Amino acid sequence: MGAAPILEMRNITKTFPGVKALSDVNLSVMPAEIHAVVGENGAGKSTLMKVLSGVYPSGTYDGAIFFEGKERHFRTIANSEDAGIIIIHQELALVPLLSIAENIFLGHETSRNGIINWYEAFSRTRELLSKVGLEEHPNTLIANIGTGKQQLVEIAKALNKKVKLLILDEPTSSLNEKDSNALLELLKGFKAQGISCILITHKLNEVMKVADRITVIRDGKTIDTMDVHTGAVNEDRIIKAMVGRELSERYPPRTPKIGETLLEVKNWSVYHPIHADRQVIKGVNLNVRAGEVVGIAGLMGSGRTEFAMSLFGRSYGKRVSGEVLLHNKPVDVSTIPKAQAAGLAYVTEDRKTFGLVLIDHIKHNISLANLPGVADHGVVNDIREIGVATKYRKDLGIRSSGIYQTTVNLSGGNQQKVVLSKWLFSEPEVLILDEPTRGIDVGAKYEIYGIINQLAAQGKAVIVVSSEMPELLGITDRIYVMNEGRFVAEMPAKEATQEKIMRAIMKSWGT
Amino acid sequence: MTDIAARAERPSIMRFVKANMRDYALLLSLLAIMVFFQITTGGILFTPLNMTNIILQNSYIVIMALGMLLVIIAGHIDLSVGFLSGFVGAIAGVLMVSMKFDTVTSIVVCILMGTLIGALQGWFVARFRIPAFIVTLAGMLIFRGLMIAMLSGRNLGPFPQTFQSISNGYVPDLLAFMAPPGLNLFALAAGALVTVLVLWSNLRARRLEEAHGMAEEPIQLFYARNALIAAAFLSFSWIMASHRGLPNVLITMFALVALFMFITTRTTFGRRVYAMGGNEKAAKLSGINTERITVMIFAIMGALAALAGLVYAARLNSAQPKAGQGLELDVIAACFIGGAAVTGGVGKVTGAVIGAFIMGVMNNGMGIMGVGIDWQQVIKGVVLMLAVFLDVYYKNNSR
């Protein structure tokens, strides 16, 4: 390499009481480079970025940071931002009820004597939005635009601060394929303008698409830095470095034993809870057999989650109509308790908002959906509850200090296992899993797939909603493709390919 | 060998105390405040007469704090309880004094009224998702107005003897025949019995914990804590016994505290309230009928506010148009001093009760010292701020 790196982090070591989060981590980023940092959840990626951006002030860690050739001691986020290092977090830091322009200039208002010059802010916002390719009026409220566009606003905000090194933490985790691609293209555009970029992600296909170099972090150590342009880099090599072992298969093997039809949904239709005349689900039919894993594919916004939630006790939508049959008999699933009693369970796509009581511990979270199962006449039997929690912790391999660990402190994969435990303990016949592996590292994903296989082997009907098509191809028996609130195709997983699914979606637009 | 064991154990006691700092700090604060006022009032605080007074003066705060704790754990607030209790007191006055209803009927009607009013407020909160702050603020204005209207701005009394005995009566000394003069032997025996029961149930819980390998509290601390509990209960019953025995209202209060401890820690209902306050959406998706639970919580709060209103009216022996004024603030303060979280999902009955007594002892102590109402308010405000500040401070530091 000819040029000097724009950023060098040397031998960074950061200890928390009792834990060594980072030990001797090295990271160097060249000018105009897209550098991917990958690793399992809890590997230390976020800690490293917090060290870099000054969240952990200089002096609380060992090692040195060189930026543009000079050693830096960032004490606050403002310090690192002044130097041109901007970090965009997974959870976006935008104020929903302020406009795009107000958000972009929040804290950096173009003002004279404390009076904001809105005209200037406006025209600057226009410029910035065109740079990131966002066609929205600067006065539009953040609450009224989708996550993909919000991400672009964040980036525009970063550009406004004269960014030299842009750090993106899981930028595409809540974006659909189209928005993700647009974002990645944007990063390539920045690269051409000389802006460097650190991309933290779980999605290896994205890494392969845009990254120049890849640094793998595992257990707080740098494992490897690979050059995509010279070395023989492929996803398998990255995964091997990430998990420290060869994952011979990404999906555990399974021999399906498919029985009678267990669940049948007929002519299911749902209207939007606020815009009452908008039909979100338009007369959908679905069936699942015992022991079968059925996938629902589709883009973000196609109505998958809305379908699943409306099915589960009408927890979404208005004017829900249609028929649900279990074992060929009609059942009432009009409220969540009724749906539960009928044998349905819904594992949410957003475990922090809808899945867990984060301030409470594992034991209480597991029993929550089936409290009568650990109680006699409304009085909780502590001993039985402990037994249940201990069993699921062991069976599902929840890694924690015990059943009394607060769930907020668990990694994404382990949180997901707690949510799964909760629903397994409610002893459902039909499980609807909405994005069961979102934001989870490769190792934990494999374990979750294993659990899904076990459930199917026990004769349960499993519905998996997922944005990751390879996942659906890997673990399901049959795939429904959803678009604009309809199933536009249905195919056995064996015959399905990503191209077939995409083609079905593309052909169906506007029909 | 023993040396090593001792050395290994000491830090674990420290660690446990540190992890449970909040609970210990609360109890120590109450003790410190009591000792402080014992000295500054020249020893009046702990006299049997005054201790009985503290119980009587605070009973309605404690009673309402139990309901308020549930409301706060669920993530809501109830501003109406002060005037609701006053309003119910006024109803009791009209029923018993003006309309000559008998005591039992009147009490039943009053408590039903409170329950219904609470349920109605809860229904607005649950069904229409109007913030409890607004609903109960409106309720506060309404009940105050109704109370004044019912009483036409005048005091209404006196109440029948049986009704007065709710607050002013004492449990008769059933063991008087063998009691030494000046001592209520029944109070002492009851105190001893309760002490034994509490120790026995603690010991049983400890056994179960040990059998399942989940005993976290170091055994020395367990013994020390229980010895302290026993000492407090026994000396308290001694003090009570050397005055007029056990006030009826103390029995009511004690039963309610025990009931609410049971509800919050052992029942599925209690668990659902905590879950709802911790994450309402997750609770709802777990099949918990959050609307029904919200209505129930406010109904319970209403019933307790009604009971507190009756106790208050019985104590003053008249329904007064200023009854209940500002009580809601003391009740809410008691919960927050006791460690409940504004965001919901966190709080303990013991905390709220200790919080109520911290407020009560301060009111009483400052009253004896002759501190004016103005400065009493200031000092209570500072104590509330300090308690919550320490809470937040410890939480941030432990992270």
- Among the candidates B245, B262, B296, a domain finishes at B245
Same domain, B239 and B252: no
If you average pLDDT over residues A390-409, what whole number do you get?
88
Find the angle CA(A140)-CA(A143)-CA(A148) to the nearest 5 degrees: 90
For A386, the closest of B212, B269, B345 (CB atoms) is B212
If you average pLDDT over residues A350-366, what whole number do you get?
92
pLDDT in tens, A101-151: 888 888 777 777 777 778 888 888 998 898 888 888 888 888 888 777 888
Is the pLDDT confidence value at B58 over 70?
A: yes
Residue B181 lies in a domain: yes
Q: Which residue of B has its CA nearest to A384?
A: B212
Taking CB atoms and an 8 Å limit, are B286 and A348 in contact across chains? no
- CA dihedral (B120, B122, B125, B127) positive or negative: negative
Which distant-in-sequence residues (6+ apart) come within 8 Å of A368 by Cβ? A357, A422, B271, B275, B282, B283, B286, B288
Same domain, B194 and B256: no
Check residue B27 and give its pLDDT. 83
Same domain, B113 and B257: yes
Is the pLDDT confidence value at B19 over 60?
A: yes
Phi-psi region of B71 (alpha: psi -120 to 50; beta: other; left: phi over 0): alpha
Same domain, B58 and B189: no
Band (pLDDT 50/70/90 cuts) for residue B8 is very low
pLDDT in tens, A450-467: 999 999 999 999 999 988
- What number of other Cβ atoms are within 10 A of residue A231's Cβ? 13
Lowest average pLDDT, out of A48-62, A84-98, A300-314, goes to A84-98
Alpha helices by DSSP H, B129-242? 132-151, 161-168, 185-211, 219-241
Please name the residue that has the structure tokens 């406009």: A99
CB neighbour burial string for A17-30, b if at least 16 within 10 angstroms, e if fewer: eeeebbbebebbbb
Backbone torsions φ then ψ of A361, nearest 5 degrees: -90, 175
Percent of chain B residues past pLDDT 70, beyond the cut? 96
Bridge partners, residue A375, by sequence: A380
**Residue A456 to chain B, least CA–CA distance (Å):** 22
- Among the candidates B245, B266, B287, a domain finishes at B245
Query: Which DSSP symbol is given to A449?
Result: H
Band (pLDDT 50/70/90 cuts) for residue A237 is confident
Residue B23 lies in a domain: no
Which distant-in-sequence residues (6+ apart) come within 8 Å of A311 by Cβ? A265, A268, A324, A333, A339, A344, A346, A432
pLDDT in tens, A404-437: 888 988 888 889 999 999 999 999 999 999 999 8
Domains, in order of start, for chain A? 7-243 (3.40.50.300), 257-343+428-511 (3.40.50.300), 355-427 (no CATH)
Is the pLDDT confidence value at A1 over 50?
A: no
Band (pLDDT 50/70/90 cuts) for residue A212 is very high
- Among the candidates B197, B219, B245, a domain finishes at B245
Residue B389 lies in a domain: yes
Check residue B6 and give its pLDDT. 40
Q: ipTM of this model?
A: 0.84
Cβ contacts of B279 on chain A, cutoff 8 Å: 353, 356-359
Check residue B11 and give its pLDDT. 53
Alpha helices by DSSP H, chain B? 2-19, 21-40, 48-73, 81-93, 103-128, 132-151, 161-168, 185-211, 219-241, 248-266, 268-278, 280-285, 290-316, 327-337, 349-369, 373-398
Contact A280, A484 (CB under 8 A): no
Band (pLDDT 50/70/90 cuts) for residue B82 is very high
Describe the strand order of the beta sheet including A165-169 as a list of residue ranges: A85-88, A165-169, A196-200, A34-38, A213-218, A221-227
Taking CB atoms and an 8 Å limit, are B287 and A337 in contact across chains? yes
Check residue B356 and give its pLDDT. 94
Q: Domain tally for chain B? A: 2
Is the pLDDT confidence value at B28 over 70?
A: yes
Same domain, B192 and B298: no
Same domain, B209 and B64: no
Radius of gyration of chain B (CA): 22
Same domain, B137 and B284: yes
pTM of the prediction?
0.80
Band (pLDDT 50/70/90 cuts) for residue B177 is confident
Give the pair of three-digit tokens for residue A223: 């494992």
**Residue B273 to chain A, least CA–CA distance (Å):** 11
Check residue A278 and give its pLDDT. 83
If you average pLDDT over residues B121-136, what whole number do you get?
96
If you average pLDDT over residues B309-315, what whole number do you get?
95
CA distance A49 to A218: 15
Q: How far is C-alpha A427 from the geometric centre of its chain's CA atoms?
A: 27
Q: Give the DSSP per-residue string, A258-307.
A: --SEEEEEEEEEEE-SSSTT-EEEEEEEEEEETT-EEEEE--TTSSHHHH
Percent of chain A residues past pLDDT 90, beyond the cut? 38
Taking CB atoms and an 8 Å limit, are B279 and A356 in contact across chains? yes
Q: Give the DSSP per-residue string, B287-317.
A: T--HHHHHHHHHHHHHHHHHHHHHHHHHHHT
Contact A308, A463 (CB under 8 A): yes
Same domain, B253 and B219: no
Check residue A21 and give its pLDDT. 80
Check residue B3 and give its pLDDT. 41
Same domain, B347 and B212: no
Is the pLDDT confidence value at B9 over 60?
A: no
Is the pLDDT confidence value at A37 over 60?
A: yes
Same domain, B85 and B226: no
pLDDT in tens, B244-297: 889 999 999 999 999 999 999 999 999 999 999 999 999 999 999 999 999 999
Residue B29 lies in a domain: no
For A357, the closest of B214, B266, B345 (CB atoms) is B345
- The angle, 0 to 180 degrees and rounded to 10, between the axes of the packed helices B290-316 and B248-266 is 170
Give the pair of three-digit tokens for residue A154: 């964040």
Same domain, B74 and B135: yes
Residue B211 lies in a domain: yes
Per-chain mean pLDDT for chain B: 89
pLDDT in tens, B185-204: 889 999 999 999 999 988 98
Check residue B33 and give its pLDDT. 92
Query: Which DSSP symbol is given to B179?
Result: P
Mutate to test the interface with A, among B274, B284, B285 (most CBs of A within 10 A): B285
Check residue B327 and give its pLDDT. 92
Which distant-in-sequence residues (6+ apart) come within 8 Å of B198 by Cβ? B229, B230, B233
Query: Which DSSP symbol is given to A4?
Result: P
CA distance A78 to B43: 57
The domain that contains B88 carries what CATH number? 1.10.3470
Q: How far, CA to CA in Å, does B144 sit from each of A460, B156, B325, B326?
A: 58, 16, 9, 11
* Chain A contact present for B278, CB below 8 A: yes
Give the pair of three-digit tokens for residue A500: 């077939």
Contact A361, A402 (CB under 8 A): no
* Chain A contact present for B397, CB below 8 A: no
Same domain, B253 and B208: no
The domain of B225 spans 173-245
CA distance A10 to A383: 51
Which distant-in-sequence residues (6+ apart) come within 8 Å of B28 by Cβ? none
Check residue A239 and give its pLDDT. 76
Give the pair of three-digit tokens for residue A481: 């493709």
Is the pLDDT confidence value at B94 over 80?
A: yes
Is the pLDDT confidence value at B64 over 90?
A: yes
* Chain A contact present for B288, CB below 8 A: yes
Check residue A248 and give its pLDDT. 57
CA distance A470 to A467: 9
For B271, the closest of A315, A359, A380 (CB atoms) is A380
Q: Is A443 helix (H, G, I), strand (E, B) or coil?
A: helix
Residue B4 lies in a domain: no
Bridge partners, residue A294, by sequence: A463, A478
Residue B286 lies in a domain: yes
Residue B235 lies in a domain: yes
Phi-psi region of A168 (alpha: psi -120 to 50; beta: other; left: phi over 0): beta
Taking CB atoms and an 8 Å limit, are B274 and A364 in contact across chains? yes
Check residue B259 and give its pLDDT. 96
Radius of gyration of chain A (CA): 24
Taking CB atoms and an 8 Å limit, are A379 and B267 in contact across chains? yes
Residue closest to B37 by CA, chosen among B283, B364, B386, B385: B364
Is the pLDDT confidence value at A327 over 90?
A: yes
Check residue A342 and give its pLDDT. 93
CA distance B358 to B352: 10
Please name the residue that has the structure tokens 């009085």: A379
Is the pLDDT confidence value at B107 over 90?
A: yes
